[in-house]
Chain A
Amino acid sequence: MKPENLYHPDAAREFLADGARARWHDQAIWFVRQKRDAQAQQLPEWEELRKLAEQIKAHTLSRLDEYLVQFEENARHNGVTVHFAADAAEHNRIVHQLLAARQVKKLVKSKSMLTEECGLNPYLEERGIEVIDTDLGERIVQLRHEPPSHIVMPAIHLKKEQISELFHAELGTEAGNNDPTYLTHAARANLRQHFLTADAGLTGVNFAVAETGGVVVCTNEGNADLGTALPPLHIASMGIEKIIPRLEHLGVFTRLLARSAIGSPVTTYTSHFHRARPGGEMHIVVVDNGRSDILGNPDFYASLRCIRCGACMNTCPVYRRSSGHSYSYIIPGPIGSTLGPSRDIRKHGSMAFACTTCGSCSNVCPVKINLHEQLILQRKRAFDAGTLKPAKKMGLLAMRFLTRHPALLDTAGKAMRKVVPILPAFVKDGTAWSRPGRELPEMPEHSFKELYRRRQEDKQ
């Protein structure tokens, strides 16, 4: 769970205090963005694919209730039970009832941002059920008792030395052995025992197909597969927006997902679950938890097209330099900065301001969500809801006043260009711009307006 009242600028400052680690984080994530570009360039139809994906999702949202009913009917026809949960509490209750009725002692989970959103793990653990996250990154953050910092790479904020220490303490690996292969295979051996002894498996859902009543789960590790092929009970938790109309549409989305997410042509396992394993049973929990409210908001409903690839995070210059833990909502980065405030503007107001409006997120989004435009609108909501700190609010109000009075803006600019260069250092050091790496820029002699005017005159 994220701490209450997390304020992005403060949390980001904390992350940036370790300059070397922040730089590494930035570069590691930028590398993923570059791999994504390389994949996109290999498909001449890339932009057409994005357009198709956008249209399919936009169409689906316009008839979401119909597709959900169709999905439910077809799933039931396959022998799968479908449950509907209006909110996180109901989702957790349904999952717990299914587990309790079958005396489940141990649940193996594959990565699911929805169950993070619902707070499922602590809910089940309080009721005596052992929950094992099985995605390696997710397992690492579970053992550290912290939330994932990225939706696709949950432990990207950690160095291998930290993971080595953790595994030494928790799994008994060799002290000081930082080799990723050694550590990964130690986790593999440990988790395999959990897979073999679990009473139930829970997965998220990447895509739910209305036409066939089945769900698709994409992993590189195979944890969703082991977690559902071994235990007798499979529970799949999905948000209402995961629906796509037809099987053939997977031929668009499975081409976009892994390429956008990790720069790989596909995930190792793209698994299609339509029935339980022999002798087992399968349940699907369809969760709203605020999504239908977003659906009714013309400014923000496009955010429900999201397929959770994380490409917007990987390209975001702010996310890369502040890490997922500096965002207050469980989903960080650009997409989280619109989903979080849509859910609760008072709690997540600062997230929308963690954005330079550079638009890079919108440019890489495989379903073409207008992310940076939504973030500007979320800022307006944050302002109107009174969530801004006094200094920020006053600054914005002053700026608004100035931009509405051009003559005053010119005068203020002129004064600043004259005064700032002669200010003593101790005054300048007190500003938000004076932190290490963020020096106050040199003041130019002339304003843009003056330069422009002179150039026009020279031309004549």
Chain B
Amino acid sequence: MKAKVLMAASASASRLTASLFALMALSFLIVASFAQSSQAIEIKEVKSPGGITAWLVEDYTVPIIALNFAFAGGSSQDTDAKLGVTNLLSTMLDEGAGDLDSQAFQGRLEDLTMSLSFSTGRDFFYGSFQSLQANKDHTFEMLRLAVNEPRFDAGPLERMKTQTISGIRRSLKRPDALAGLTLSKTIFPDHPYGRPSRGTEDTVSKLTSDDLKAQRAKIFAKDSLKIGVVGAISADELAVVLDKVFADLPENGDLVEIPNVEPVTDKNVHVDFESPQTSIQFGLPGYKRHDPKFMSAFVMNHILGGGTFSSWLYDEIREQRGLAYSVGSYLVPYQHSALLMGSTGTRPDKAGEAIDIIKAQMERMAQTGPTPAELEEAKSYLTGSYALNFDSSSSIARQLTGIQTQGLGIDYIDKRNEMVEAVTLEGVREVARDMFDGIEPTFVTVGKPLN
């Protein structure tokens, strides 16, 4: 609440930033927005003659088509020596494909007024496409080229490596980013999840086009492909497109098995950093998406530090004491682990107090839990906010893809409301006890030396 628009910063955002935003929103989806439906969204399962499946919501109101897809195997598939290769791959698919070199490809994207972007999470590799209906034949061809025939030419590869390294350097100078990297490393010390997704300056500088080809061959396969489509396209038309874009991919990927891992708790790591504000991040074990207790934990987290301006953390840290501008917590259900994470930032002399408050609220949640009224308010919010997650073609397409990657079933949107409603006070108290009772979160602080 009460944020302000910084016009200068906003207006300087380029089209590149806009597509970046789309990717960030995607990662948010997995965490927090499995909303339910209060009205029917008709999802059709479309199976192409070539055996590709996609979920489709047909809608001709706005003459555009949004398509999202995901392959299993994100940055956790990187080897230690090739750290950042999956991320670099995601930056290179629109840097030339087929007969079009980077410049020709980018020029064509602009002529077609389409958007095409790729990104990687820990567990999945994502693609996102948006086109005017009028240009669809040409734009789907561009998608086909990017997915099947990327070139990885030397010039653009050097450029993307340089830009990636530049971003890595910047994040090491930003307290929040530094805290995030440090928290991952501390919580998952000997696991792929603990490593920086973008790699390090050293590993990225050594990556080659052969590395990209090898990584693409590992991940791009039909067996784990999930697709969501929304907009001005019929099921029959889509079936043809699916084969055109995806049918030539190999049946199976070659993914390395990632071990399950328990997050490390009760560590306190401080990174000295000259700053007028101390960044605080914390994490502790959460619940995986398929855990029967996930939904109780989801509702519990909403009360503790989730989305609204009424969470316990928000009230205690911001409203009552004015310690921070932002504070919140969220569940992060990975495929091979699960976390509850959170963050805030406050003046250096108050960092200790903020940490004590966070711990105290977890303790309060474990000991007394929410009141029945708080539980009802949380459920009311979480069920009522459904429709807002379905407010644009691209956000619906992201939802469709996300639901599939989590293996939740095509009726999930209809059932999700009931699942939230079914959460009980005892269920919330139980997950709170399991998560917080006798468990100390791992805390990372980045700022001036702590007192």
* Binding between chains A and B: no
Interface of B toward A, CB cutoff 8 Å: none
Interface of A toward B, CB cutoff 8 Å: none
